[in-house]
Amino acid sequence: MSGMSRVREFPLPDLGEGLTEGEILKWLVEVGDTVELNQPIVEVETAKAAVEIPAKWAGQVTAIFHPEGTVVDVGTPIFAVDTDPGAGDLPVPSAASLAAVELAPPEGAIEPGLIGGPAPGGRTAVLVGYGPKTGAAKRRPRKSTAPAAGTSAADAPAATPEPVRPAPEPVRAAVPAQPVAGVAAPAVNGANGLVLAKPPVRKLAKDLGVDLRTVTGSGPLGSITRDDVQLAASGGTAAAEPAVRAALSSAPAFGPDRERRIPVKGVRKLTAQNMVSSAFSAPHVTEFLTVDVTRSMKALDRLRQRPEWRDARVSPLLLVAKAVLLAVQRHPMVNSTWAGEEIVVKEYVNLGIAAATERGLIVPNIKDAGRLSLRELADALTDLVQTAKAGRTTPADMSGGTLTITNVGVFGVDTGTPILPPGESAILALGAVKEMPWVHKGKVRVRQVTTLGLSFDHRIIDGELGSKFLRDVGVFLTDPEAALLAWT
């Protein structure tokens, strides 16, 4: 293989779920790095989760087309790889030779077993966990990149090598097109050059009277940030004292109108769509039960002291999860889905645990949790929480949930009226465990008490069924050891 034919561009894959775009969160390589087959190259966030995309070929990265933070349409090239870096320098491509650059094969022409390629049984290989589309996703309109009237590509400012990533296809802000071979234009190209800055930053600069062409950007690809504009407005320069820049970075990013606008995208966008859909399609009922959980807390203390449990994470959530799983066995209808013409009752319980992350609320679930021992359940809960906090929850972990617990007690909240995850019929809120005066054996004692809140779909679960389910969860938490002996 010689010439430009050895350079291959990798487009953002479809991921097999019907979503049309993804946001580049983090590049794991740089231009010039040598990569191996299936080595993680970039972390991308879709409306479902953040996933790492592996290299389809081994070789040397010759170009990275979009900076971190860019939202890219599916099918748009995101990086290029020289598959034969030892064959000598690549020629600088002309407009005619650009046609020789090989894109990743179209759907149906990819090698078996690779992302997007055919898999056994006539399926399509996708990133682990991705399934059919489950939410709305719209393609963003492309911004025009045609040159102004009376100009041509040859009139564009000459590109100079920079230690930043190239952009052969414009990103969301206006960036001049670059050749594949790995050079990028600076953010500012003089009086007639283009400036790399997002619309809110441009508005701030206009309001503050700052000429963006005079500002040196500190953001990705040399883009200009709010801090750069504010520094310039205060008379500073890019070489200002680090303390000044640090002070600006720590200040709230409010504009002159004292307002801040946060784009709704990724996980937060899908969460909003799901919650609105659920709230207005499933008739919610919420019931509350306040429970004396003193014996549960003592049982947890005894469990922690056992040698085989010393390295396990033990919390009230563990006993609540066990209570829910046993109560489902007594009331299977709670673990079901409304399917229009029928109700689908599940024998298995994929137990969802609502988790707050930096990207928003997600609800990963423990598959077939009812078959796990108490220790296996404890380990699964620990893994689920740690994975969510690290931002590594896969789409597979968030699909197929049948029943959910949300632990609002960790925030010191007594309880709440949770909204059902789409497709589920019940969700239990666990409130904070607090010491309270409680009538125990005819006398007022200080006991450890919590409040449970159960929301359910009244199309499936009537008041009697919901009440019995919640009551059984409460009975277990009141005396878990006796309940285990009686129910199992």
* pLDDT tens-digit series, residues 241-255: 444 444 444 455 787
Catalytic site includes residue 331:
no
Specify the pLDDT at position 21.
78
| CATH number attached to the domain at 186-263 | 4.10.320.10
CA distance 348 to 405: 16
CA distance 184 to 76: 18
Residue 120: Cβ-neighbour burial (10 angstroms; 0-12, 13-18, 19+): exposed
Please name which of 108, 109, 77 lies closest in space to residue 11, comparing C-alpha atoms. Answer: 77
What residue ranges of the chain have pLDDT lower than 50? 1-4, 93-192, 237-250
Q: How many CA atoms lie within 13 A of 408 on its CB side?
A: 18
Specify the pLDDT at position 431.
96
CA distance 98 to 92: 10
Specify the pLDDT at position 163.
43
Catalytic residue among 66, 284, 440, 458: 458
| Non-local CB neighbours of 252 within 8 Å, separated by 6+ positions | 260
In which residue ranges of the chain is CATH 2.40.50.100 found? 3-142+150-155
CA distance 292 to 448: 6
Specify the pLDDT at position 374.
95
- Say yes or no: domain 267-487 is CATH 3.30.365.10: no
Nearest-Å Rg of the Cα atoms of the chain is: 28
Please name which of 182, 162, 222 lies closest in space to residue 80, comparing C-alpha atoms. Answer: 182
Residue 480: Cβ-neighbour burial (10 angstroms; 0-12, 13-18, 19+): buried
CA distance 289 to 469: 11
In which residue ranges of the chain is CATH 4.10.320.10 found? 186-263
E-assigned strand segments in 135-239: none
Specify the pLDDT at position 309.
92
92, 93, 158, 223 from 181: Cα distances, Å: 7, 7, 14, 21
Q: Count other Cβ atoms within 10 Å, centred on residue 237.
A: 11
| pLDDT tens sequence across 303-352 | 999 999 988 989 999 999 999 999 999 999 999 999 888 999 999 999 99
Q: Any idea of the CA torsion for 326, 327, 328, 330, to the nearest 10 degrees?
A: 100
Specify the pLDDT at position 233.
75
Specify the pLDDT at position 395.
82
Classified by CATH at the fold level, domain 3-142+150-155 comes out as OB fold (Dihydrolipoamide Acetyltransferase, E2P) (2.40.50)
For the whole prediction, is pTM greater than 0.75? no
Report residue 113 as tokens.
């077993």
Specify the pLDDT at position 159.
42
